[in-house]
Structure 1
Amino acid sequence: MTVSSSGFISVTWRRLWPLPALLLTAGIFAGIATWVLSAPVRAFEESEELFFRNGDAARGEQVFLAGQCASCHASPGQSDRTRLGGGLPLASPFGAFNVPNISPDPIDGIGRWRGIDLANALMSGVSPDGRHYYPALPYVAYARMRPEEVRDLMAYLRGLPPVAGRPPPHDLPLPFRLRRGIGLWKRLFLDRSPLTDDPSHDAAWNRGRYLVEAQLHCAECHSTRNLLYAVSDDTRHAGGPDQEGTGLVPNITPAAIGHWSDDDLVVLLTTGRTPDLRQVAGSMADVVRNTAALPEPDRRAIAAYVRALPARPSPDMP
């Protein structure tokens, strides 16, 4: 038995030895493919750096307001919304994100950034040193902005006061500290195609669509998420749990506010007052501080687009 079985084992092993080798080879190739596919991909190459110089700061201020930059990046505990020292903690199912300093401070902020660095951060979620940013920065929406508006935004940011001090790093457990996987997530959910005008709608609707979907990034809050934590198309703008899991964000499609008029929405975006005379609070109150400073035609464009959204029922809450 011993002698015969050794021969049997020898023959069997010679027949089966390619299987471990094949599995090892497949694993190596899968690892290489994953590493390549998850690599950070910048929206703009160094050859385009000149384009992002010499923006218009006055136009950049409008981008700053519509993009809700101060709502997250203004230093907490003070009233000056141009002091962008960061530090606001953002709770999430993955851990706590601490909003970074984006003031012109050359050490703790973005004072050494170029315009192209800001463009790649906002429109591809890639840092100047080539790392993925977490999509807590809403680059999924900002990716559809016009590059010249990022150029103008940088001109505006450069004129703001530098703020010293760097917030603590994000407080995330493993595996969420490993940013490389974000590259695979981007392959699925980051759409960089520009929002071109739809000729079947008027200019106000097209302007409102651009503001709502690209700059204001309304869907990032007013939607539920799928299993990979991307905005669900089925509940886009239909509300759901807030990002911190402490409340509900309202449905802003006609299924919930179809009885509102354009004027009702303009009043909300200007004063924070709803048609039933309630006052918005929390993060929406901060949004209104920004929209109130936009030109009235922009607020009317936002209203026109929101009132024309597909009516979607609010998702069932657990």
Structure 2
Amino acid sequence: MRFRTFAAVVLVAAVAGVGSYLSITTPQRMPGETWDGLGEPNLENGERVFWAGGCASCHAAPGATDENRLVLAGGAPLKSLYGTFYPPNISPDPAAGIGSWTLSEFGDAMVRGVGKKGEHLYPSFPYASYARMTPRDINDLYAYLKTLPESANVAPAHALSFPFNQRILLGGWKFLYLDDKPRVTLAKPDAKVEQGQYLVEGPGHCGECHTPRDALGGMKPDLWLAGAPNPEGGQGRVPNITPGEKGMRGWTESDIAYYLETGFTPDFDSVGGAMVAVQKNMARLPAADREAIAAYLKAIPAH
């Protein structure tokens, strides 16, 4: 009798635990009113956000150059320790792309990692950073994307090993790591540094590559931008970009801004690797944005 009672208690606790997990980790959309009353989209700002967010770097076809980078057909493989991710088509095509998506569906994907069908999206799409973006910027970006060429390309499905191919687990990951709080607390930042913080921590998603991660794939907050292993698992290391001795202590704000504009370092070297595409995106931003990014990178904790 005691065993039956014990077994019943264990069963109830197990059911309650599963129920709590599912409740906590069910995909959560933003309140509908988040996307109301944003006014007429600013396409010029939408294009600015497009380049700041590096949309073309992942969603353009592999090897696309020049104007073809604006055809967001998807499909460029992103190799990782968990398998290979294939960024989807986000062109305005109504069937293969996001042409049939509403602003709220697009916004939920950007800041909550929730797809059109209500499914969890993998954080290879950097919504853990985009969560800091303003609704107005997302509205402007959404409108700008709708002006780009359509593509009927259907990107391959992700090729992930078990258990990483189980989307239900992403609910737990979001519970642990998804929020819209600042990555670092800065002492009395001015407007320029605050703008840089928004660009770096939000649309620029710099920490996705430059910050080391724990065993579950979450960023280590105490090592923000302190450098990290190659995210594709190969040789090489993503550099430390803090103002510390192992980072960019010898770089001035002007050096950083110039590097983002031209790709040249203070010692006359040039940008290489995956940073080439990032630098080309940064070069499309207004000079004030690059200067704000530089100011922020000099203001964060050194490592």
Shorter-chain TM-score above 0.5: yes
Q: Once superposed, what is the RMSD of the aligned Cα atoms? A: 1.8
Give the SS at the match of 2:254: helix
Within a 5 Å distance, the mapping from 1:257-268 to structure 2 comes to: 257-268=248-259
Give 1:39 shift.
0.2
8 Å Cα contact 2:90/2:97 also seen in 1: yes
Is residue 59 of structure 1 aligned with residue 45 of structure 2?
yes
2:59 aligned to which of 73, 82, 91? 73
Deviations 1:119-174 (A, max 9, x none): 10001000111000011111111001000100000110000000111111000122
2:139 aligned to which of 143, 151, 154? 151
Deviations 1:26-58 (A, max 9, x none): 11111111111110001232x555446742211
2:7, 2:110 → 1: CA distance?
Answer: 45
2:18 aligned to which of 28, 31, 43? 31
8 Å Cα contact 1:239/1:251 also seen in 2: yes
2:39, 2:226 → 1: CA distance?
Answer: 39
Deviations 1:3-35 (A, max 9, x none): xxxxxxxxxxx2322111111111111111111
1:199, 1:308 → 2: CA distance?
Answer: 9
Deviations 1:189-234 (A, max 9, x none): 1113489x97822111111111111110111100110121101112
Deviations 1:287-318 (A, max 9, x none): 11111111101111111110112111xxxxxx
Q: Which residue of 2 aligns with 1:189?
A: 177
1:83 aligned to which of 47, 60, 71? 71
Q: Which residue of 2 aligns with 1:280?
A: 271
2:194, 2:38 → 1: CA distance?
Answer: 25
* Identity level (%): 43
Deviations 1:62-111 (A, max 9, x none): 00010111111111133121010010100111111011100001111001
1:78, 1:178 → 2: CA distance?
Answer: 32
Q: Which residue of 2 aligns with 1:249?
A: 238
Q: Which residue of 2 aligns with 1:174?
A: 162
Give 1:251 shift.
0.5
8 Å Cα contact 1:52/1:115 also seen in 2: no
Is residue 134 of structure 1 aligned with residue 122 of structure 2?
yes
Change (3 A) 1:48 1:254: closer
2:47, 2:119 → 1: CA distance?
Answer: 27
Normalising to structure 1: TM-score of the pair? Answer: 0.89
Q: Which residue of 1 aligns with 2:281?
A: 290
Q: Which residue of 1 aligns with 2:96?
A: 108
Deviations 1:253-301 (A, max 9, x none): 1112111111111111001111111111121110111111111011111
Unaligned runs of 5+ in 1: 1-13, 313-318
8 Å Cα contact 2:49/2:203 also seen in 1: yes
Which moves more between the two structures, 268-277 or 23-32? 23-32
2:30 aligned to which of 43, 46, 56? 43
8 Å Cα contact 1:132/1:180 also seen in 2: yes
2:251, 2:63 → 1: CA distance?
Answer: 35
Unaligned runs of 5+ in 2: none
8 Å Cα contact 1:44/1:119 also seen in 2: no
2:57, 2:36 → 1: CA distance?
Answer: 30
| Number of residues of Structure 1 aligned to a counterpart in Structure 2 | 298
2:279, 2:298 → 1: CA distance?
Answer: 18
Q: Which residue of 2 aligns with 1:18?
A: 5
Give the SS at the match of 2:90: coil
